[in-house]
Structure 1
Amino acid sequence: MGVSQKTITGSLQSSSRLSTKTLVMASFLSALTIVLTRYGSIMLAGGSIRLGFGNLPIILSGILLGPMAGVLTGIVSDLLGVLILSQGGFHPGFTLSAALTGFIPGVVVALNHKHKYSFFNICLSNILVFLIISLGLNTYWLTQLLGKSFFVLLPARALAQGIVAVITIAAIWFLSKFFRFWDK
């Protein structure tokens, strides 16, 4: 009995640590997020809409590496992105949003681990990020920065971010064919 308890405790401790492989992949995805967000995005409507795919690597991090690595990828990419090329200054709310963008897909995949890379998991992850982060939190943070009403910003952001979410789902679904190589 002591041996099995020790084995269980050991496996729990090792699973809570991030491996070198995980940290390297999270770093790569953070760098890709910075490039896609800061240099590969278009700002519209006075800075209230950003058309780009900077969330895609953070969502991938959550799906591939787990919720903790997803959170770290989001935080690191937001903080370094602000230092490298600030587009309006630092707001801690956007850092929280970036962290949750990695956390939500990680939790969705962890709860349905049997079908880790299923279309359902990919869609659910992206829809939750779209609703909670893109429409909810980020629109709220923009109301603080721009001084406009939440419901004034929401319709245009819903349309633009909805299009980005659909393209992100398609891209991650396409890439999911190669995820099985990650698990080896």
Structure 2
Amino acid sequence: MPDITTLILDDHAWFRRRFAELDELQARPDADPRELSRVWRPLADRLDVHAIAEEKIFYPQLLKQGENPQDETLDAIGDHNEIRDGVAEAERNPVGSQGWWDGVWSARRANDEHMAEEENEGLADFRQHAPSGLRESLGRQFQEFMDTHPTPEGLDNTDKDPEVYVRTIEARIDPASASTTGLGIGDLKGHDQ
């Protein structure tokens, strides 16, 4: 089983290919909305499910294992919110309309930024600090989640406050510290985990 970092990178490559397909379709003046939907619908769904899977499976472990996990996670959750917002903007508009394209490209810009940062920071950090057995176990969980949820239907796909998200995860990692110190971002840095 590939480790979670490989699976996330595989999804990133898939996202890039689907956006490239949309590039080609946009260049055609006669692009059929059904063809646009054929590419966009699975892409929009997977963008959302991928973000949820990372938030449930990857980032809690990054916060335990990483070298600079708080900043990386704060940025990632903010990026996820921007991606979700772009997808939602596209969904509010007829496929192929200017408003739809605006949402698609907003999601793409946020996703491109997110993937670059995650590949150079969070994933690299996790590969360096998390044992391979953990990465493989998380890979199984990530794959099962993605297989079980081909669409975001029934999942919490709302924007998250990045600071609240990190504080909540850190409180789960070290509940005693959270209850006695009013845990804040970065408070776990240096603790043995």
Q: TM-score, normalised by structure 2?
A: 0.31
Say which structure is richer in helix.
Answer: 1
Task: Between the two structures, name the one with larger relative contact order (CA 8 Å, sep ≥ 6).
Answer: 2
